[in-house]
């Protein structure tokens, strides 16, 4: 990418899209084209086609999606399938029609079969049944990978796909019902600290293992791969490190400064026992993460305080 190339970041106000924009700005890129969801409904095929025909971006980061936690995924199954298919179909096809030089599609680690061997290697895609609660979202993301591959095979498009692990960081979602585990714990411990609550209850046993990556590290990886990855299929992006939910809770408790007790409610579901990405392919391409979990959580908590508390 040249510094003057026109770059379209779909989803530029979200956690991932805003991180990619920060990275590109830091590298000296200035020619961005963006639209908010109010300005452009990415589910609207004629509107997206008109936008691409008018703006003619050279590079596209497809980070827009309808996202949410387990409850949202399982409740709004039709919306998660329809909206995400529409968004990616419209952007990928319009990128082909308008001669986009390169497109990066961002997926999700939920594309892997529920019982896939750990750590999750790229070869495990479509080798088993998906986790039922987020199956619609996963199917949409799998379709996006295969669509990029199909346009590469049939039309010679340089469209690539990357699969991030669990992300956290600036501009995260701290909604009480719809957020993911790490931001949800930040909010819960902060509110418990402010209210003087004697204990914080954590769902499950605390034993499941999860991997987390700071969103700005993901943006670094996306920038690197946009220049150094050019093949069908996809590549995992993660830290390659895992932590138990219990240890994560204890770490966040320390960072927030909550003095009360932790209580684990074993009557609640644990979810998948382990979910770790195999990042050997990424390492072979020459990239590894930078931000350690404790440092990243401190940055995320500071951002939470600025945006959600000190207003």
Q: Active-site residues: which are they? A: 137
Closest CA to 54 of 17, 8, 14, 13: 8
Residue list for the binding site for substrate: 188, 203, 210, 270
Residue list for the binding site for NADP(+): 11-17, 106-109, 141, 164-167, 180
Residue list for the binding site: 11-17, 106-109, 141, 164-167, 180, 188, 203, 210, 270
Closest CA to 190 of 247, 246, 256, 263: 256
Could you tell me if residue 302 is left (phi over 0), alpha (psi between -120 and 50 degrees) or otherwise beta? alpha
- Cα gap 196→5, rounded to integer Å: 52
User: Token digits for 101?
Assistant: 């030089």
Q: What is the dihedral of CA 108, 113, 114, 116, to 10 degrees?
A: -110
- Cα gap 153→140, rounded to integer Å: 20
* Alpha-carbon distance values, 128 to 156, 203, 232 (Å): 30, 27, 21
Closest CA to 298 of 260, 261, 252: 252
SS3 (DSSP) at 26: helix
């Amino acid at each position: 990418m040249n510094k003057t190339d026109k770059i379209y970041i779909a989803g530029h106000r979200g956690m991932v899209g805003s991180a990619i924009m920060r990275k590109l700005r830091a590298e000296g890129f200035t020619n961005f084209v963006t639209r908010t969801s109010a300005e452009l409904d990415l589910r609207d095929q004629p509107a997206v086609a008109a936008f691409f025909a008018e703006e003619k971006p050279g590079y596209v980061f497809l980070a827009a999606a309808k996202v949410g936690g387990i409850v949202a995924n399982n409740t709004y199954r039709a919306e998660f399938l329809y909206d995400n298919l529409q968004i990616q179909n419209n952007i990928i096809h319009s990128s082909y029609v308008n001669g986009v030089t390169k497109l990066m599609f961002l997926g999700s680690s939920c594309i892997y079969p529920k019982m896939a061997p750990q750590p999750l290697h790229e070869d495990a895609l479509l080798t088993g049944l998906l986790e039922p609660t987020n199956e619609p979202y996963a199917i949409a993301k799998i379709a996006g990978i295969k669509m990029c591959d199909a346009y590469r095979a049939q039309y010679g498009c340089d469209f690539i796909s990357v699969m991030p692990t669990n992300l956290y960081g600036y501009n995260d979602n701290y909604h009480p019902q719809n957020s993911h585990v790490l931001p949800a714990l930040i909010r819960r411990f902060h509110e418990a600290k402010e209210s003087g609550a004697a204990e914080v209850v954590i769902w499950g046993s605390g034993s499941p293992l999860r991997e987390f990556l700071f969103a700005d590290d993901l943006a670094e990886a996306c920038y690197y791969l946009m220049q150094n990855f050019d093949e069908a299929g996809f590549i995992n992006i993660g830290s390659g490190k895992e932590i138990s939910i219990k240890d994560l809770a204890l770490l966040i408790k320390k960072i927030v400064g909550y003095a009360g007790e932790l209580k684990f409610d074993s009557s609640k579901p644990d979810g998948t026992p382990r979910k770790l990405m195999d990042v050997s392919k990424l390492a072979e391409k020459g990239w590894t993460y930078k931000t350690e979990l404790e440092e990243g959580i401190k940055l995320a908590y500071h951002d939470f305080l600025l945006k959600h508390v000190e207003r």
